[in-house]
Amino acid sequence: MIKHYINAARLRTLPLSVSGIIVGSFIAASHGVFNWGICVLAILTTVGFQIISNFANDYGDGVKGTDNNDRVGPARALQSGVITPKQMLKAIKIAIAITFIVATLLIYKAFGKDDFLNLSIFFFLGVLSIAAAIKYTMGKRAYGYSGFGDLFVLLFFGLLSVCGSYYLFAKQLEFTIFLPAFSVGFLSVAVLNLNNMRDLESDIKANKNTFVVKIGSEFAKYYHYYLLISSFLVALLYNTIHFKSIYQFLFILAYIPIAKHFVVVFKNKIPKLLDPELKKIALSTFLFSILFGIGLLLAK
């Protein structure tokens, strides 16, 4: 039974989920304000949010009937019947409890007990993140079924992840940090867009009105190109503004597989064949975060 919950947690999605934390942490390290305790707790908290989201997506799509024989990707837990809806709800509650505890420890580690304003703000953001993870597919007003998934991914995987994690270290925020935050955010949205491009036919049948369903497959491709190119340009702009060394452009190496992915999407005529590209773009995002950060440290 445990292996079914591990499969439902979709561990392959975790590198993408922590990419923003890695970028925020590396920027903090380059500014001399890094703390290992905060970094580890931030990663664990983000992993918790992602697992909650994956469990909730499995449950939400399962009870709505979206996960069916038309689905292209790996079979989900509820879809295959290895976990019942009641069992998945219990798993979601346990994941929420554990993540809430870890997030509380993170906030306390970062701000202590006397910084009431920051404690309150980040406590609210933590609750908001849990709510966002759950409401993507669960409930009657699931935003993933209304085309708002892309916006929430940009906000939580990009802006909040990078800027929020940096603030935990530095207790302040520089405007230019929003640039790499948008880079991670755009790449994360590209992963979701690719997923929705692949599932276009089954989502239409299930009345899941993703952004791709709303704009159509052809415009979804142009949207995908915009996301990939924009992620590169804003990262380039950040390192140009803060230029110290050529090492800062190490992140460009991550765009070699992304460029190959770009060509695959451009040539694609059958959306279902995009499934292998999901892993490639997710790992490329993780590689980007590592190379971006190493470049900053080598440039110190």
Spatial distance between the Cα atoms of 195 and 50, rounded to a whole number of angstroms: 16
Closest CA to 6 of 51, 68, 45, 61: 51
User: For residue 81, is it left (φ>0), alpha (ψ between -120 and 50) or beta?
Assistant: left
pLDDT value for 159? 96
pLDDT value for 72? 62
pTM, to two decimals: 0.93
pLDDT value for 255? 97
DSSP 66: -
pLDDT value for 77? 72
Spans in the chain with pLDDT lower than 70: 64-76
pLDDT value for 71? 56
Count how many Cα atoms sit within 13 Å of the Cα of residue 255 in the half-sphere of its side chain.
Answer: 18
CATH of the domain at 48: 1.10.600
pLDDT value for 66? 64
Quickly count helices (H) and strands (E) in the chain. Answer: 14, 0
Question: How many domains in the chain?
Answer: 1
Burial of 9: CB neighbours in 10 Å, binned 0-12, 13-18, 19+: buried
Spatial distance between the Cα atoms of 258 and 283, rounded to a whole number of angstroms: 10
Range of the domain at 220: 2-298
Identity of the residue numbered 273: L
Closest CA to 43 of 289, 219, 236: 289
